[in-house]
C-alpha cells in the first residue's frame, strides 16, 4: 500500500463518503457482516500483532492499567464480533423522515436523516474502540479517519487492513476508512476543514481543549465528568447507600463515576456514618465540609475539591440545607455530565430533573448507568457534555445529520413574495418523497 499524505487521506474519505451515504441499509449491514467474518478469519494475525504491541509496551514500561486495556486476545476479538452482530440488528438511522410539510399544493418539504459525512476520531489505546468506532460509522453511513494510541500501533494497523479489505470487497467505496499512525497526521487533520465534518477526541479534558483550540472543525467531546449524587431529606437511605457505593466504587476511573456526594441536613446524622463506613471498607478516602466533619471524622474538603474530577478512590461530601442548595451546587461546580438524586418525593424528583443542567439527570439510580451500552445504543463513540448536536452518551443517533428535500412542479418564489399565492404549511402524514 502506497503511503498517502494526510490531505490525500482526507480527500479520499470525502469522495467515498458521498457514495457511502447512498448505500442502502442491506448493503451496509452486509459489509458489517463481512467485517465480522474477516475478523474471525484473521484472529490469529490480529492476536499476534497485539502480542507484539504488548511486548513492546512492556519494554517501554507502560503502566499496568494501560497494559491491561491494550490486550486484544481471542476473547476480546469474540467480543467485538458479537458487538457487530448486535449493531447489525439495530434499526437503520438513515432515511428517516423527521418532518414533512406541504408548503403549498404540489410543493412538499421533507427533512430526511443522512450521514454527517467524514468523521475524525482520536482515541485511547483500546483496540476494541477501533472496531466499535469504525463499525458505528459504517452503520451510520459515515467515512472515518481513525487515530488510535501509539501503544496499539500494530494491532490497529492490522485491524484497519482487515476492516478496509472486507468492507470494500462487500461494496463499500474505497477510502471510506483511513488509519493515522502519527501525531503529525493528527495536527494536519485539524486543518482539513474542507474534507472533515466532525472531530471526536477521546481522552483527557486538556486534550479535548487542545483539539478545540487548534481546529475550525466542529468538535464533539466531553470535558470533565464531575458527577454528583444528592441524598434528599425524603430519601430511602437504604437505596441511597447502595447507590452511593455503586456510583463511587463500581469502576473508579470512568467519567460517570461519582466525585461529590451532597447530603440533606435532615438525614446527615443518620446517613453519613453509614456511608462513611461503607466507603472506608472499599478503600475510599472521604473529604467533608465542616458540617460533615461534625458528624464523621473525614479529611477536609476545600473549594478545590468540589471542582476536581478525582478518577480515584477519593470522594468529597457536603451537607446542604435544601434541594435548591444541591441544585445550585451542581450547576456551579458540575460539568454537565451526570447527576443523580435519591428521594421518594415526586416533587423533588421533578424539580431536580428540570433544574439540573446536565446531559444525564437520574432519579434513584447509580451515575454509572450513563453509558451507550447500558442505554441500549449498541455502543458509543463517546459522551458529550456539549449541548450542541449530541448530548450525553453518543451512539448512532449522534452520527447523523439531515437534509431538506423539497419536491415541486416548477414552483417559483415570486408569486408568494408578490402576495398572489400563500403557503398552506400543512403537515403531511405518512407521505414519502417517492
- Return the number of the residue (104 or 299) whose C-beta is nearest a second copy: 104
The residue within the footprint of a second copy, chosen from 131, 153, 358, 379 (CB under 8 A), is 358
Q: Is 79 in the site for a second copy (CB under 8 A)?
A: no
Strand order, beta sheet including 177-180: 177-180, 143-147, 118-122, 198-201
The residue within the footprint of a second copy, chosen from 1, 64, 253, 388 (CB under 8 A), is 388
If you search the block for the grid coordinates 451496509, which residue do you land on? 28
- Cα-flanking dihedrals φ and ψ of residue 100, to 5°? -145, 120
Q: Is 243 in the site for a second copy (CB under 8 A)?
A: yes
DSSP 8-state class, residue 182: S
If you search the block for the grid coordinates 490497529, which residue do you land on? 156
- Return the number of the residue (2 or 283) whose C-beta is nearest a second copy: 283
The residue within the footprint of a second copy, chosen from 66, 67, 81, 103 (CB under 8 A), is 103
Question: Which helix (H) or strand (E) element contains residue 346?
Answer: helix 346-355
Q: Is 433 in the site for a second copy (CB under 8 A)?
A: yes
Return the residues of window 8-67 that contact a second copy according to CB under 8 A: 17-19, 21-22
Work out how close the CB of 150 gets to a second copy at its nearest, in angstroms, rounded to a whole number: 27
- How many residues belong to the chain? 434
Work out how close the CB of 66 gets to a second copy at its nearest, in angstroms, rounded to a whole number: 21
The residue within the footprint of a second copy, chosen from 359, 379, 381, 394 (CB under 8 A), is 359
- Return the number of the residue (138 or 163) whose C-beta is nearest a second copy: 138
- Return the number of the residue (84 or 116) whose C-beta is nearest a second copy: 116
Q: 287: which strand partners?
A: 299, 316
The residue within the footprint of a second copy, chosen from 381, 391, 394, 396 (CB under 8 A), is 391
Rounded CA-CA distance 98/220 in Å is: 23
Return the residues of window 274-333 that contact a second copy according to CB under 8 A: 331
The residue within the footprint of a second copy, chosen from 205, 252, 386, 421 (CB under 8 A), is 386
Q: Is 413 in the site for a second copy (CB under 8 A)?
A: yes
Return the residues of window 184-213 that contact a second copy according to CB under 8 A: 197-198, 209, 212-213
If you write DSSP's letter for every residue of 82-135 in order, what string do you get? HHHHHHHHSPP-SS-EEEEEEEETTEEEEEEEEE--EEEEE--S-HHHHHHHHH
Q: Is 380 in the site for a second copy (CB under 8 A)?
A: no
The residue within the footprint of a second copy, chosen from 60, 412, 422, 429 (CB under 8 A), is 412
CA 230 to the chain's CA centroid: 24
**Cα four-point dihedral sign 61, 64, 68, 69:** negative
Work out how close the CB of 139 gets to a second copy at its nearest, in angstroms, rounded to a whole number: 17
Please report which residue ranges of 170-264 form alpha helices under DSSP H. Answer: 183-189, 205-213, 237-249
Do residues 196 and 120 lie in contact, with contact meaning Cβ atoms separated by under 8 Å? yes
The residue within the footprint of a second copy, chosen from 187, 312, 406, 431 (CB under 8 A), is 406
Q: Is 85 in the site for a second copy (CB under 8 A)?
A: no
Q: Is 419 in the site for a second copy (CB under 8 A)?
A: no
The residue within the footprint of a second copy, chosen from 77, 279, 295, 360 (CB under 8 A), is 360
- Return the number of the residue (220 or 301) whose C-beta is nearest a second copy: 220
Q: Is 405 in the site for a second copy (CB under 8 A)?
A: yes
Do residues 230 and 325 lie in contact, with contact meaning Cβ atoms separated by under 8 Å? no
Rounded CA-CA distance 142/148 in Å is: 18
- Return the number of the residue (47 or 100) whose C-beta is nearest a second copy: 100
Dump strand ranges (E) for 154-269.
177-180, 198-201, 227-231, 258-264
Question: 163-173: b or e for each residue (b if 16 or more CB lie within 10 Å)?
Answer: bbebbbebebb
Amino acid at each position: 500500500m502506497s503511503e498517502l499524505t494526510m490531505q490525500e487521506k482526507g480527500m479520499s474519505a470525502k469522495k467515498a463518503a458521498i457514495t457511502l451515504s447512498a448505500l442502502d441499509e442491506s448493503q451496509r449491514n452486509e459489509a458489517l457482516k463481512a467485517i465480522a467474518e474477516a475478523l474471525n478469519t484473521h484472529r490469529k494475525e490480529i492476536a499476534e500483532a497485539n502480542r507484539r504491541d504488548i511486548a513492546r509496551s512492556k519494554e517501554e514500561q507502560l503502566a499496568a492499567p494501560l497494559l491491561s486495556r491494550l490486550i486484544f486476545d481471542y476473547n476480546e476479538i469474540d467480543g467485538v464480533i458479537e458487538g457487530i452482530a448486535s449493531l447489525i440488528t439495530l434499526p437503520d438511522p438513515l432515511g428517516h423522515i423527521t418532518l414533512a410539510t406541504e408548503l403549498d399544493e404540489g410543493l412538499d418539504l421533507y427533512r430526511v436523516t443522512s450521514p454527517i459525512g467524514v468523521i475524525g476520531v482520536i482515541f485511547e489505546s483500546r483496540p476494541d474502540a477501533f472496531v466499535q468506532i469504525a463499525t458505528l460509522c459504517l452503520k451510520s453511513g459515515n467515512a472515518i479517519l481513525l487515530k488510535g494510541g501509539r501503544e496499539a500501533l500494530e494491532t490497529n494497523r492490522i485491524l484497519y487492513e482487515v476492516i478496509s479489505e472486507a468492507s470494500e470487497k462487500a461494496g463499500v467505496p474505497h477510502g471510506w476508512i483511513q488509519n493515522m499512525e502519527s501525531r503529525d497526521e493528527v495536527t494536519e487533520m485539524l486543518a482539513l476543514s474542507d474534507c472533515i465534518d466532525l472531530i471526536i477526541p477521546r481522552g483527557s479534558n486538556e486534550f479535548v481543549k487542545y483539539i478545540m483550540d487548534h481546529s475550525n472543525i466542529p468538535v464533539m467531546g466531553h470535558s470533565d465528568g464531575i458527577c454528583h449524587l444528592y441524598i434528599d431529606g425524603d430519601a430511602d437511605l437504604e437505596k441511597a447507600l447502595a447507590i452511593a457505593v455503586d456510583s463511587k466504587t463500581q469502576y473508579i476511573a470512568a467519567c460517570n463515576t461519582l466525585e461529590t456526594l451532597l447530603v440533606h441536613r435532615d438525614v446527615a446524622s443518620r446517613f453519613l456514618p453509614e456511608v462513611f463506613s461503607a466507603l472506608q471498607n472499599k478503600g475510599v478516602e472521604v473529604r467533608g465540609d465542616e458540617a460533615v466533619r461534625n458528624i464523621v471524622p473525614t479529611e477536609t474538603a476545600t473549594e478545590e475539591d468540589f471542582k476536581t474530577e478525582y478518577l480515584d478512590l477519593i470522594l468529597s461530601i457536603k451537607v446542604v440545607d435544601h434541594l435548591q442548595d444541591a441544585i445550585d451546587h451542581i450547576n456551579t461546580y458540575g460539568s454537565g455530565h451526570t447527576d443523580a438524586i435519591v428521594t421518594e418525593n415526586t416533587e423533588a424528583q421533578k424539580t431536580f430533573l428540570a433544574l439540573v443542567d446536565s446531559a444525564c439527570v437520574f432519579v434513584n439510580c447509580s451515575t454509572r448507568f450513563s453509558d451507550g451500552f447500558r442505554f441500549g445504543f449498541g455502543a458509543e463513540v463517546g459522551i458529550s457534555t456539549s449541548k450542541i448536536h449530541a448530548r450525553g452518551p453518543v451512539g448512532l443517533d449522534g452520527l447523523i445529520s439531515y437534509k431538506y428535500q423539497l419536491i415541486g412542479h416548477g414552483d417559483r418564489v415570486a408569486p408568494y413574495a408578490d402576495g398572489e399565492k400563500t403557503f398552506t404549511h400543512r403537515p403531511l402524514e405518512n407521505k414519502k418523497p417517492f
